[in-house]
Structure 1
């Protein structure tokens, strides 16, 4: 390596995938390095990802050809346009890639996103009252999104209705000329990613539903499906805080409650992909009765449905909606604020139990009020107990209110970043 310019730390190791070959692992290492540090010169990539310059040259050539990488020329260095070797030089520069030198100009490489185009992933989050559609680029940035209220549709008719409306969204929102890689779908309950089956989602009335196959047939796209807690965990590992790649715990609080745990970049699924069900986690101090016959279960104590119903009972909102409750608190209703703080403390006590068991580097809590207003996140942190040990580890999702649009698309993108050779 020419020069002595210091470099940022190497990118974290790419999680192994069953069946990975050396080419797939090398392609993933290069793509993840550019995700973490790009734009950067080709000559910087070997030191950052631990591969030889020759291996990096081969992989950048393939990734450029596949459209996953592109050149980001500066004003003094227009992109090369001649010969079959375009985009394969190794350069001798550092991360800026703009200083001229002998041979080929050091034109930086970056993920193929932004005004220059590049591939997109579609996202579908299926909630209980509504679904959310999104278009997301390779850096996890949302280009378009749309909500689709379910409007009381029956469980049997809902998948077809979602597919039809999603198809219209994609037709109207996808920029011309930008390839669509496929669809990532995320939802609560027990989801088996291996075959895209919703094993059980009681709130939607789905049991043994081949959701991935049905959506793929109707949309004509590759479809990947996962539980939304694992989807958020994947998004945090891929696009969020660096410490999430070491170890991450995610707690999802919505109409359903779920959790996910990741270590060294891999999110745990467990046998039959059933890991993460914390609906009946006993919350210290809660005496709320649960349908299971016990009291104090997390689902019965803190889910959106429960809190929305309590808000109606207290006369705060006219219908059981956490969104309306959050809006009421934002406009100064002390009753709404009080109820949201009660829920935040319940979530914090549940978080403390999980923190004691898993001791992650970071805990991401996806709960609407604490995503929108820092004060409720502080309430969760305080209820979790030991502030010196745990408080600073509890954070909101990096994408903020866009957490679910990003996470659902990441169901498709995470496998691509583990094995980009499928496109090369």
Structure 2
């Protein structure tokens, strides 16, 4: 049973507290990027004094985010005093939970502070839409959260979905496939769990994950394209994911696809969301007799079995996606384009199709190698959900773990020996 930590408060941080959080975030990020790393190196990376770094390391270790790697200590010959111990992100004491709420199923997961998925479970939505999707999930969440691996303290919950999401208010403004309008998802989840909840659009959350744990170029500028039952994009510049006025990053779902006559929910035909969506792809596979019904697993099986009709459908979508990425690259000119799409993550040959279409359509003639796929495979939706919570944790670590109402468990003492990035 979770109990409320009596020391928590919802008061806004004082100026000194805010500065402390900025310094703590800088130290934590330096260790995330370079750990295990000596405190002196952290000071050089952050511009903080060695004394300030040591204070932050002590605080972050107390909160369960850092630990000393005693097994890596190597005192110099003739050195006097205690050798400096490298510090690393502690992945053994705390976790965040994540929910990716999609059309066919909801993914529930636990992630450690390095974004590694500790546990993942898919919960079928059984064709439900509207409030019927959320009711059984709210009932099951307390039991799911009680199963945190190895007794870790769960310090936050990320919840992501497609469509327009107001992350400041925790509201899903519009999700057409699920039939959601102005759904106060954050408030409902907080009431059900007692945890601090971060709600976001899944494309933005995946962009945040790439910035935290992925390709270094993502921190300069990137566009992320998500292709599933919904089609979403996110933009990040200088390590910050863009949120536009009224919450959307932008809406690429209705970009025209000239050779498509797929009907869109907006009433038109040939929109990118309809032409490239999983719904359209799976329905086409069933209509052509490739699968018995519109189903991802069945189409994947047909592709793996070498069915040329299945291969043709998937390649056709890959070309559509590549052309859309070419347009995005010409408009934004980012350092990196990241694609989350199921078949390109399964087979590099389909990524090659995307890159070829991108190269043909982009007027900037950028190197097609700047198009990459998410590297988390089957865990990608779990990572998206957890990244919403981890982004908040890395931005304000002290505030997140000391001033937010949350279920509380004592954080156990870290073992003295632990492998790299364990």
* TM-score over 0.5 for the pair: yes
Preserved CA contact (<8 Å) 1:41 1:97:
no
Which residue number corresponds to residue 87 of structure 1? Answer: none
Which residue number corresponds to residue 147 of structure 1? Answer: 122
Q: 1:127 aligns with which of 99, 102, 116?
A: 102
For residues 43 and 121 of structure 2, the distance between their equivalents in structure 1, rounded to whole angstroms, comes to 41
What SS does the aligned partner of 1:106 have? Answer: coil
With normalisation by structure 2, the TM-score equals: 0.87
What SS does the aligned partner of 1:110 have? Answer: strand
Q: 1:402 aligns with which of 367, 371, 379?
A: 379
For residues 102 and 281 of structure 1, the distance between their equivalents in structure 2, rounded to whole angstroms, comes to 66
| 2:89 corresponds to 1:111 | yes
Higher RCO (CA 8 Å, separation ≥ 6 residues): 2
With normalisation by structure 1, the TM-score equals: 0.86
User: Displaced runs of 4+ in structure 1, greater than 6 A?
Assistant: none
| 2:233 corresponds to 1:245 | no
What SS does the aligned partner of 1:271 have? Answer: coil
| 2:49 corresponds to 1:71 | no
Q: 2:181 aligns with which of 203, 207, 212?
A: 207
For residues 279 and 323 of structure 1, the distance between their equivalents in structure 2, rounded to whole angstroms, comes to 25
Deviations 1:340-372 (A, max 9, x none): 001100110111100101111111110000011
Preserved CA contact (<8 Å) 1:365 1:394:
yes
Q: Tell me the CA shift for residue 390 of structure 1.
A: 3.5
What SS does the aligned partner of 2:62 have? Answer: helix
Q: Tell me the CA shift for residue 176 of structure 1.
A: 4.2
Moved more, 363-372 or 293-302: 293-302
Preserved CA contact (<8 Å) 1:191 1:225:
yes
For residues 316 and 177 of structure 1, the distance between their equivalents in structure 2, rounded to whole angstroms, comes to 46
Q: 1:334 aligns with which of 290, 295, 308?
A: 308
Preserved CA contact (<8 Å) 1:148 1:165:
no
Question: Residues 21 and 168 from structure 1, CA distance in 2 versus in 1: closer, same or farther, beyond 3 angstroms?
Answer: closer
For residues 120 and 277 of structure 1, the distance between their equivalents in structure 2, rounded to whole angstroms, comes to 33
For residues 160 and 70 of structure 1, the distance between their equivalents in structure 2, rounded to whole angstroms, comes to 40
What SS does the aligned partner of 2:146 have? Answer: helix
Q: 2:168 aligns with which of 185, 194, 202?
A: 194
Which residue number corresponds to residue 11 of structure 1? Answer: none
What SS does the aligned partner of 2:257 have? Answer: coil
Q: 1:30 aligns with which of 8, 27, 39?
A: 27
Q: What is the root-mean-square deviation in Å for CA atoms of aligned residues?
A: 1.7
What SS does the aligned partner of 1:67 have? Answer: coil
| 2:403 corresponds to 1:419 | no
Question: Residues 205 and 287 from structure 1, CA distance in 2 versus in 1: closer, same or farther, beyond 3 angstroms?
Answer: closer
For residues 114 and 298 of structure 2, the distance between their equivalents in structure 1, rounded to whole angstroms, comes to 32
For residues 357 and 203 of structure 1, the distance between their equivalents in structure 2, rounded to whole angstroms, comes to 28
| 2:74 corresponds to 1:98 | yes
Q: 2:113 aligns with which of 138, 145, 149?
A: 138
Which residue number corresponds to residue 393 of structure 1? Answer: 370
Matches within 5 A, 1:209-288: 209-288=183-262
Matches within 5 A, 1:363-402: 363-385=337-359, 389-402=366-379
In the alignment, structure 1 segments of 5+ residues that lack a partner are: 1-18, 75-95
Which residue number corresponds to residue 14 of structure 1? Answer: none
In the alignment, structure 2 segments of 5+ residues that lack a partner are: 1-14, 403-422
Deviations 1:291-321 (A, max 9, x none): 4344321011010001111001110011112
Which residue number corresponds to residue 151 of structure 2? Answer: 177
